Amino acid sequence: MKYFLIALFICCATITYSDTLAVGPGQQYETIQSAINAADDGDFITVYPLSFGEAYSAINFLSKDLYISGIANPKINGENSPIVVNMNYADYANFIGFIVTGSATSIGINCTNASIQEVFDNTVENVEKGIYISDCPYITVQNNQLRENVSGCFISNENPESDIVHLNSNKIYDNNIGVYIDEIHSVTLLLNSIYHNDTGISMSNNPLIHTYISNSTISGNANGIIFGTYSQGEIYNSIIWQNDATFTNTPASLNITYSCIEENYAGTGNINTNPKFCMEGYYAYHLLEGSPCIDTGDPEETDPDGTFCDMGCYPSTTDIKSLKGNHWNWVSFPRLEREGNDPVIAYQLLEDMIPFPDEMTLMFGDETVLTYEYSNWSNVEYEITSDIGYKLNPQEEGAYILPEPGSRLSAGYTKTVSPNQENWIGYWLPYTQSYEYALGDQLDHIEAIYAENWYLFKRNGRWYGMSTGTIEEQPGTFEYGKGYMLIVSEQFNLHWIHFGVSPTYEKSEIEFFSYEDKPNYEAIEIDSIENGENVLEVGVFQDDVCVGASKVENFPVHLMAYTDAMSRGDDLTFELNTGRGTTEKYKTVLKYDFKSGKYISTTLRPLSSRFSLIKLTRSDENTNNEPSPFNLNNYPNPFNPTTTISFMQPKKSEINLTIYNLKGQMVKNLIRGETPEGLQKVIWDGNDENSNPVSSGIYLYHLKTEDKVISKKMILMK
């Protein structure tokens, strides 16, 4: 069932409102209660705020069907009154736009014994029961803030068989219990944010309780949901994350679909992945750009902007870009307020950055196109488009966000890329994907990919860089809203492919070296380090200043060196750290010559090449050893029905290449025996040892050489 549209329906009373009564300084009535006393069923009462710090007294609807609306959130303080706003027996009543407070034993808004009631746009705080609901056949509580109460919303009906409660788009936080459900036929929670409570939602053991939680976010509570033993629940398109306890007790039935749940729960479309919340002010618990919850809800539903449904209470009609201060963020802007890919004025977008820095620089390629300093923009005419990648630096330490409302660039958009130039492009698909997924067979035309925290280079038909390695390594990934630079061999119309979702590549943080990043870097790959078993980190230096460093977790080690062209005469040096200080320094290295196929003893000059493959060794003798055979790959991946497995064999030797399933059972042996040196390719047709086709799923291809064992995953999709 789809509760999204059902719960958005708000029942409208069929009465005709007649008079409007005004309350406030200089108005017809001085108090709200005096206006209620004079009103008839169907009247409007409009309330204006009192002077700063003053509040109206507690009110009683007197069972009248009234529409009471506050202008600019007037405050009602019930002080020691047991009920601050009493809507008892007001059958068709509306209460909208107030701040309601009282004592620790007060009920904030009492909604009882009525046919239809609506409570909208209020803040209820510092009372025992924020909103108390009992015996209302149909009530909607929408767009309220319920905070710092014993219970934000307390539902306890004497005749629950037919009662229906809708809690829509409320913020419920800092309460002992966010929502307490005692006896009720049906409670629908839609688009609610329930956070920082001792308990988010608590249910009694009543067997009549049916709770439907849709498009809601429950996070940061000590207890996410406490179920009654006999309660029944359905959770749909929601996020339940970072609660001390996700669920307490086992309900009679619980169905979870298309939701992000911190623990693994069976159900269609569920994920167990960090949702990437923004926690900045107004945007708290909105989803940051690249969140795995964006566009991954029920595929049959859409958000207000027409994109696929997001999980959680805040559909991503606004992108929220996370930026690091004093750092070159490689960005793009897939969502802008424009038609198609029309350009927009850059500074008008960047002015929305939170917090706003004193200085800021935007670059396109190697060119600075816009700066902000001394309270002035350098180029108020500069325009940006969604298909281009940029580099953006808020030049102060700290964390920033940049909200970007508007429409998203079409997933099917194409961009022409050309050889003999740097192609700076944006990534506009809302899915994190490996380079193989995102580019597919377009990789045949690509020579190099630069990203903010990874790189990829093709040399002699073989890929080098952060996107290659063993099965334990996460590949370099394309992320929504990031910018990338491509070098291509021929002109073609690039289009991003949605083939799957990959875990985000995150480069390991260094501990012993420190350096400052710059707009550009050169890539240095260390194939091996002589006697490097105990090395924890390696740093690269220019003029005795560290310009890049990486952890040594396995080989090859990938370095991004932020070298300075002004000091091109100064050779680079390398330092190793074992955790007990710097132990080795290298200036002369063995650099691989891709033309001759040999490692040559040399020094590295800054910016002498975009990509260098080296060994750190005390030997100064040239060697013809090929790079280590880490480039085990298959293409296409996923595949149906065949895929080609390739790897570089450094020398003639015995190898074993075998396919296994995830249970560790051998499926098929592809190579066993001696193979020549050089690039090797073998096709797997998806059949087992008995020539029977295997089922769809994930398989491992396992390469064993004389001194190495490497495994990688591939996906067969039929």
Q: What is the pLDDT of residue 699?
A: 87
Q: What is the dihedral of CA 263, 266, 269, 270, to 10 degrees?
A: -10
What tens digit of pLDDT does each residue of 473-486 get?
446 899 999 999 99
The yes-or-no verdict on residue 471 having pLDDT over 80 is: no
pLDDT single digits (tens) 626-671: 565 556 778 777 788 888 888 777 778 888 899 988 777 889 999 9
Q: How confident is the model at residue 384 (pLDDT cuts 50, 70, 90)?
A: very high
Q: Comparing C-alpha atoms, which of 48, 29, 27, 24 is closest to residue 39?
A: 29
Give residue 696's pLDDT: 84
Counting residues of the chain whose pLDDT is more than 90, the rounded percentage is 64
DSSP symbol at 422: -
Whole-angstrom distance, CA of residue 474 vs CA of residue 498: 18
Phi, psi of 437, rounded to the nearest 5 degrees: -65, -45
Per-residue pLDDT at 8: 36
Tell me how far the alpha carbon of residue 149 is from its chain's centroid: 31
- 24-49 pLDDT, tens per residue? 999 999 999 999 999 999 999 999 99
Per-residue pLDDT reduced to its tens digit, 663-682: 778 899 999 888 887 778 88
**If you average pLDDT over residues 334-348, what whole number do you get?**
94
Number of neighbouring beta carbons within 10 Å of residue 164:
17
Whether the CB-CB separation of 102 and 108 falls below 8 Å is answered with yes
Calculate mean pLDDT across residues 301-315. 91
Instruction: Report the first-to-last Cα separation within the chain, whole angstroms.
Output: 29
Calculate ∠ Cα 518-520-524, nearest 5°.
105
Residues 138 and 119: beta-carbon distance below 8 Å: no
pLDDT of residue 123: 98
State the pLDDT at residue 680.
Answer: 82
- Each residue of 543-557: pLDDT tens digit? 889 999 999 887 888
Nearest one of 287, 428, 389, 408 to 336, comparing CA atoms: 408
User: Going by DSSP bridges, is the β-strand pair 75-77/260-261 parallel, antiparallel, or unpaired?
Assistant: unpaired
Angle at CA of residue 304, ends 299 and 307, nearest 5°: 40
Task: Using DSSP, state whether 533 is helix, strand or coil.
Answer: coil
Q: Is 30 exposed, middle or buried (0-12, 13-18, 19+ CB in 10 A)?
A: middle
Of residues 234, 268, 235, 228, the one with CA closest to residue 250? 228
Instruction: Indicate the residue type of 300.
Output: E
pTM for this structure?
0.81
Q: Which amino acid is at 705?
A: T
Tokens (6 digits) for 264: 């693994």
Neighbouring CB atoms inside 10 A of 519's CB total 15
Report the pLDDT value the prediction gives residue 107, as an integer from 0 to 100. Answer: 98
Per the CB < 8 A criterion, the answer to whether 182 and 207 are in contact is no
For residue 641, say if its preceding peptide bond is cis, omega within 30 degrees of 0: yes
Confidence band for 714, pLDDT divided at 50, 70 and 90: confident
Q: Name the CA dihedral angle for 630, 632, 637, 641, rounded to a multiple of 10 degrees.
A: -170
Residue 266: other Cβ atoms inside 10 A: 8
Residue 623 has a pLDDT of 58
Number of H helices, E strands in the chain: 4, 67
> Quick check: helix, strand or coil at residue 36?
helix
Say if residues 663 and 637 touch (Cβ distance below 8 Å).
no
Instruction: Average the pLDDT over 216-238 and give the result.
Output: 94
Q: pLDDT value at position 507? A: 81
Residue 160 has pLDDT above 80, yes or no: no
Mean pLDDT for 206-220 is 89
pLDDT at 175: 98
Q: What is the pLDDT at residue 628?
A: 57
pLDDT band, very low/low/confident/very high, at 1 (cuts 50, 70, 90): very low
> Which tokens is 392 given?
């953006």
Count CB-CB contacts under 10 A for residue 429: 21
pLDDT (0 to 100) of residue 644: 86
- Name the token pair of 580: 């007990």
Long-range contacts of 538-542 (CB under 8 A, 24+ apart): 538/574, 538/575, 538/576, 538/577, 538/616, 539/512, 539/513, 539/515, 539/574, 539/575, 539/577, 540/572, 540/573, 540/574, 541/572, 541/573, 541/574, 541/575, 542/567, 542/570, 542/572, 542/573, 542/606
pLDDT band at 16 (very low <50, low <70, confident <90, very high): very low
DSSP label at residue 567:
G
The answer to which of 135-139, 350-354, 392-396 has the lowest mean pLDDT is 135-139
Measured CA to CA, the distance from residue 489 to residue 552 in angstroms comes to: 33
Number of neighbours of residue 306 by Cβ within 10 angstroms: 9
Per-residue pLDDT tens for 489-534? 999 999 999 988 877 877 888 999 999 999 999 999 998 888 877 8
CA distance 122 to 427: 41
CA 294, CA 68: separation in Å to the nearest integer?
38
Q: In the predicted model, what is the mean pLDDT of the chain?
A: 89
Structure-derived torsion over alpha carbons of residues 167, 170, 175, 181, reported in degrees to the nearest 10: 10
C-alpha–C-alpha distance, residues 325 and 394, integer Å: 5
Higher pLDDT, 276 or 553: 276
Write the DSSP assignment of 96-110 as a string of letters: ES-EEE--TT-EEEE
Q: What is the model's pLDDT at position 573?
A: 93
Q: What is the CB neighbour count within 10 angstroms for residue 713?
A: 12
Residue carrying the six token digits 């002077």: 51
What is the predicted pLDDT for the residue at 566?
61
pLDDT of 335 over the 90 cut? yes
Q: Would strands 83-86 and 107-112 be described as parallel, antiparallel, or unpaired?
A: parallel
What's the whole-number mean pLDDT along residues 74-91? 96
Residue 626 corresponds to which amino acid?
E
pLDDT attached to residue 622: 59
